[in-house]
Structure 1
Amino acid sequence: MKISEKLKQVNTSISFEFFPPKNEEGEKQLFNTIKDLEKLNPTFVSVTYGAGGSTRDRTRNIVKKIHEETSLTVMAHLTCIGHTKKELIEILSDYKNIGIQNILALRGDIPLGQEESEIYKKDGCRFANELVKLIRTEFKDWFSIGVAAYPEGHPESPNLERDILYFKKKVEAGADFAITQMFFDNRYFYEYLNLCEKEGINIPIIPGIMPITNFKQIRKFALMCGATIPEDLVKKLEKVEDKPEEVEKIGIEFATKQCEDLLKHGVKGLHFYTLNKSKATIEIYNNIKHLVK
């Protein structure tokens, strides 16, 4: 079923993101996680796509397995850089043939050490809005299309206002909904929604939640994508940096409060970046489920 249709049927969407594991053991862990999270009856789940198409086959295989072996609605991430339009159409045609109706259309991160000529194909899509347009042109309304949104602005964008204009191009090209990059201060998200409203952007924008269970890892992620971690939270985590259980406890408490505030402000849903683990996400969900309508 299309995510755009499911979002109209629920007051609050709950969804989870996974990444394709590198080996058989990782796949086993992932499907144990999926089994745990399936019990929460999420609106949808998604599977990421590596930089420059580096996980193309693994992404496809995990998406297919979730679609065929679980009750979950699954969305495949697809990045356009590094691919020709012909390759993108082949990938999308394959997804259509196996019954996948949901795509998260992304430009994608530029792989380290690669030249622009390797990344931006002559007959390719340079930006996500071009990928959205390609999908709509070639497949009409078969796919429900999600895109990324950046409450603190894309790291490559000169300012937030310019970034929102790029976001608007994706919406005008045919995007149905958006999922945000992770953020830890809700004020950025609320201000982003206000700016989007002023630009006439009215698709559902779902906040992306990253539970902090490994401080060093999340700090690295935040640095890469330009997400601000509140100073008081950083100080708390630095004190227990080498105590994993304490870090996880603080991370779960913080994410719970963040989600509670978002839900009280009437967000359309919550999208959890699970890192292929279920424990923290389940705890947070159990803490907030009384607010999920």
Structure 2
Amino acid sequence: MTTTSPDPKIIDLLKAKEDGSKPFASIEFFPPRTEVGVKNLFARMDRMKEAINPLFTDMTWGAGGSTAELTLKLATHAHEHGHVANMHLTCTNMEKDGDPKKAVHEALTTAKNNGIRNIVALRGDPPAGEEEWKAAEGGFTCALDLVEYIRENFGQEFGISVAGYPEGHPNAISEIADPSSMSEAEKGRSSTFDGKVFTCKDEDYKKEMDYLKKKVDAGADFIITQMFFDTKAFGAFVEDCRKWGILCPVVPGLMCINAYAGFCKMTKFCKTRVPASLQAKMDSMKDDPDAVKAFGVEYGIEMCKDLTAIGVDVLHFYTLNLEKVTYGILGGLGYEVKTAADESDAASMVAKGSAWARVGDQVKTNDGATGTVLEIFSNGSAKIAFEGKEPVSLPKSQFSKVF
């Protein structure tokens, strides 16, 4: 058990923000796949605490509950090294002695005993090898259940944040056969991939907002959004929150643009709206990694200026376990950045239990061969096709995704 004082609740820190002051900065990390990656992340967390002093630091919970122990370890390290830890907790694949609620209770108790007082309550992604999310028998069915459970069993011990989706949850986004039939609001949430148009229809968006209101009414203190690249979509979402009576802070989640392939893969996976001008610019630089990173800083600065004008309390950076783009954005906005970025360890920042490992992904083996995933098994291993060779099955420790 840590001997340091428990973290403050993030909502209390937000309430103390002075009117007219710059937004706070906060950051998010994911659990790396290897021990070397974990060691390097510890060093990066310490550097970023010194460099930008984030208001809080998120630690994600891997798909299917695959990183439960490591997430707790990393969140505890963050707490013990001066960060205000905001630990993700999901309902997926959480069982202890056959009882999923017991597992969640133990995770919360461990977090509490280690000084962690802030939780991001999420449903979570399906485990590796499964395309659809399924509730454990006798367990939670959604994030709302988790929020209610925390408040019922731990009262006000924890600050709670929940996810919000400015363009709709990916599961609520549909392909539109006739784009001319879309309402103006649907157009503002729409995305285009492979010549197909997608949006969260107005009736589905209403269900999304009704559900978000239930999560806040059940005890969530604030909202952190899914990534977006169109600040107008975020602004419309905040306005809709207020119309729905959701009056808590809405924190924008900002995915740092670090690489062309990763940008394309994640926006397509989440069906994220990408303005045509942004996609054209990214396409023009796809073979120049340094130019992509530099543009990631430039575009991030402009997004943050728009969000500051809207009046957000926090700029929350999905760092992808890197620091250069985050530092560049904050420095460009006039924030003090006290140390230089060091990304010499970038290759070790591969996610453990990543939700992005899917059939059809391009992967690279430890010896450098590149192939395509044909099938993913429940233990995380995969059947991979290599050009000119018979497909082979490899354990997850022997390949990584190509972004």
Taking structure 2 as the reference length, what is the TM-score of the superposition? 0.69
Tell me whether 1:94 sits opposite 2:110 in the alignment: yes
Letter in structure 2 aligned against 1:31: F
Deviations 1:86-111, CA, capped at 9 Å, x for gaps: 11111111111111100000000123
**2:42 maps to amino acid:** F
2: distance between equivalents of 1:111 and 1:24?
A: 21
Question: Which residue among 110, 113, 126 is the counterpart of 2:126?
Answer: 110
Tell me the CA shift for residue 289 of structure 1.
Answer: 3.1
Match of 2:77 among 56, 61, 65: 65
Residue in 2 that maps onto 1:28: 39
Cα deviation, residue 238, structure 1 = 1.0
What's the counterpart of residue 156 of structure 1? 171
Q: Is the 8 A contact 1:52 1:119 kept in 2?
A: no
Matches of 1:156 and 1:218, distance apart in 2: 20
The CA deviation string for residues 264-290 of structure 1, in whole angstroms up to 9 with x for no partner, is: 221121100001111110110111136
Q: Is structure 2 residue 220 aligned with structure 1 residue 185? A: no
Q: State how far apart, in whole Å, the 1-side matches of 2:220 and 2:311 are.
A: 22
Tell me if structure 1 keeps the 8 A contact 2:42–2:77: no
Question: In 1, are the aligned partners of 2:92 and 2:127 still within 8 Å (CA)?
Answer: no
Distance in 2, Cα, partners of 1:181 & 1:168: 16
Alignment of 1:107-256 (within 5 A): 107-114=123-130, 119-157=134-172, 159-256=204-301
1:76 is paired with a residue of what secondary structure? strand
Q: CA deviation at 1:112?
A: 4.6
Distance in structure 2 (CA, Å) of the matches to 1:179 and 1:13: 14
| 1:257 matched to 2:299 | no
Moved more, 185-194 or 158-167: 158-167
Contact 1:15 1:43 in 2 (8 A): yes
Tell me which structure has the larger Cα radius of gyration.
Answer: 2
Taking the aligned partners of 1:186 and 1:229, their CA distance within structure 2 comes to 11
Q: What letter corresponds to residue 5 of structure 1 in structure 2?
A: D
Assess if the C-alpha contact under 8 Å between 1:206 and 1:267 holds in 2. Answer: yes
Return the alpha-carbon distance in structure 1 between the equivalents of residues 270 and 145 of structure 2. 22
Residue 284 (structure 1) aligned with residue 329 (structure 2) = yes
Superimposed CA distance per residue, residues 129-188 of structure 1 (whole angstroms, 9 cap, x where no aligned partner): 110000000000000001000000101126222111111111011000110000000111
Question: What's the CA shift for 1:245?
Answer: 0.2
What residue identity is the alignment partner of 1:24?
E
CA-to-partner distance for each residue in 1:179-224, whole Å, 9 max, x for gaps?
0000000111111111111110011110011121111112211112
Q: Which has the higher helix share?
A: 1
Compared CA separation, residues 115 and 153, structure 1 to 2 (3 A): closer
Equivalent residue pairs, number:
289
Identity %: 42
What is the DSSP-based 3-state SS (H/G/I as helix, E as strand, rest coil) of the residue aligned with 1:156? helix
- Does the residue aligned with 1:109 lie in a helix, a strand or coil? coil
8 Å CA contact 2:66–2:127 kept in 1: the answer is: no
Q: Which runs of 5+ in 1 are unaligned?
A: none
CA contact (8 A) 1:184 1:228 kept: yes
Unaligned runs of 5+ in 2: 1-7, 95-99, 173-199, 337-403
**Shift of the alpha carbon at 1:115?**
8.0
TM alignment of 1:6-17, pairs within 5 A: 6-11=13-18, 12-17=23-28
Contact 1:29–1:276 (CA<8 Å) still a contact in 2?
Answer: no
For residue 54 of structure 2, give the secondary structure of its aligned residue in structure 1: coil
- 8 A contact 1:19–1:49 mirrored in 2: yes
Cα distance between partner residues in 2 of 1:160 and 1:43: 31
User: Quick one: distance in 1 between partners of 2:134 and 2:36?
Assistant: 31
8 A Cα contact 1:36 1:278, kept in partner: no
Work out the CA distance in 2 between the residues paired with 1:265 and 1:280: 22
Distance 1:161 1:218 in 2: 28
Distance in 1, matches of 2:134 and 2:102, equals 15
Query: How many Å separate the matches in 2 of 1:256 and 1:161?
Result: 31
Report the TM-score when normalising by structure 1. Answer: 0.94
Is the alpha carbon distance of 1:115 and 1:246 closer, same or farther for their aligned partners in structure 2, counting shifts above 3 Å?
closer
